[in-house]
Amino acid sequence: MADIKDPENTIIMTLKGGDVTIELLPDVAPQHTARMKELARAGAYDNVCFHRVIDGFMAQTGDVANGNMEKDFNIGRAGTGGSDLPDLPAEFSKIPHARGSLGAARSQNPNSANSQFFINFKDNDFLNGQYTVYGQVVSGMEHVDAINRGEPPMNPDRMISVKVAADV
């Protein structure tokens, strides 16, 4: 954890292979950053599955309503929900959807992001300016690369825990 510059705006996501450190971008997307920290601090992301994982594209997770593998889990519903909190307005920026970047998942409505997010496996420039970027993996990307693929995966992986580094 020595490489963490801003513990209050850094997420530690524990996956089956190990920890993934994500630097959030509060100056770029303050509302998305605040939402991720709020849900992480509530434990809402713990045990939530990766419900849509497309090789060469991205891994999507964060459905706290339907994706928790410890609470009435049904993979068919994972990805259809969010949290009890209101949707967020888009916070588009010039930050590219580069490998390891964290993007806000949403419906066709640009202002419908809630709790779901995705991590890009590669540079996905076609997403630039269309989805809010609010974080960047700074270590542990190899653990993201190892997530089981599928839409949905037959044996989905999960975020074992998601914490704000300042709280660890």
* pTM of this structure: 0.97
Q: Is the pLDDT of residue 1 over 60?
A: no
Q: What is the mean pLDDT of the chain?
A: 96
Q: CB 5: neighbour CB atoms within 10 A?
A: 9
Contacts for 49 with CB less than 8 Å, ≥ 6 apart: 61, 63, 67, 68, 69, 73, 75, 78, 152, 153, 156, 157, 158
What's the whole-number mean pLDDT along residues 32-45? 98
Tell me what the mean pLDDT of segment 67-96 comes to. 95
pLDDT of residue 26: 98
